[in-house]
A and B are shown apart, each in its own frame.
Chain A
Amino acid sequence: MHFWASAVYLLCLIASLVCAWLLTRGYVRYRTRILLWSAACFALLAVNNLLMVLDIVVFPQTDLSLARTCCSLLAVGTLLYGFIWEID
């Protein structure tokens, strides 16, 4: 069970890192701030997934869930900030 869980979160980690990298690359090229905010969102989601993997594999005793929840909230908050100020 733990093996599959950590495999899933590792996959999520890679996916969010890829998104963050592509969006950062887009920002460097076009300087459109919406890309910067979205890149930050996916970077934070990546941190969230990294904490999840750490939680399972490295520190099974400690509960990192508060830190993870903060990451999720910050991530989506950043994205919404970008959408609200840059697109409409």
Chain B
Amino acid sequence: MSLLESFLSGAAVAGFVLASVFFLRFWRRTHDGLFAAFSAAFLLLAANQTMITIGGVPSEYQSWVYLLKLVAFALLILAIVSKNFGRRPFGGK
């Protein structure tokens, strides 16, 4: 991984963490579980990006790292599903 790419990747990690913190604040303000799920998902995206950058993983798809991303997007899907059909563990106010 080039120096430039490491730099950009690190910036993306910081961005994902910050986005996660924003969603956490929105959750505290509204008590809407959708924001809690989004917060967790973005934290996992940050972890995923971190592992790619410093984990010495040659390419993302050759290791378990992609499982982090799977869980992150599964959380988003779960949040949307329960917003629509669930008994509101994520969806309610």
Chain A residues at the B interface, C-beta cutoff of 8 Å: 1-2, 5-6, 8-9, 11-12, 15-16, 18-19, 22, 52, 55-56, 63, 65-66, 69-70, 72-73, 76-77, 79-80, 83, 87
Complex-state Cα separation, A15 to B4, whole angstroms: 29
Question: Are A5 and B66 in touch, CB under 8 angstroms?
Answer: yes
Tell me if A80 and B12 are in contact (CB < 8 A).
Answer: no
Specify which of B19, B49, B67 lies most central, judged by the most chain A CB atoms within 10 Å of its CB. B19
Specify which chain A residues have a CB less than 8 angstroms from the CB of B60 in the assembled complex.
52, 65
Q: Which of A8, A22, A70, A79 is close to B66, meaning CB atoms less than 8 Å apart?
A: A8
Q: How far is the CB of A68 from chain B (nearest CB, A)?
A: 8
Chain B neighbourhood of A66, CB < 8 A? 2, 4-5, 8
5 contacts between A and B (CB under 8 A): A12-B69, A18-B80, A69-B5, A79-B15, A80-B19
Docked complex Cα distance between A76 and B74 (Å): 18
B76: Cβ under 8 A from any A Cβ: yes
When A and B form their complex, what is the total count of cross-chain residue pairs whose Cβ atoms lie within 8 Å? 78
List CB contacts (< 8 Å) of B27-54 with chain A.
42, 45, 49
Which residues in chain B, 8-22, are within 8 Å of chain A measured between CB atoms? 8-9, 11-12, 15-16, 18-19, 22
Nearest residue (CB) in B for A83 is B22
Which of A15, A19, A56, A65 counts the most B-chain CB atoms under 10 A from its CB?
Answer: A15
Asked whether any CB of chain A lies closer than 8 Å to the CB of B85, the reply is no
In the A-B complex, the 9 residue pairs with the closest CB atoms: A76-B15, A5-B61, A15-B73, A73-B12, A12-B73, A72-B12, A8-B70, A69-B8, A83-B22
Q: A9 near B9 (CB under 8 angstroms)? A: no
Q: CB < 8 Å: which of B8, B19, B49, B77 contacts A15?
A: B77
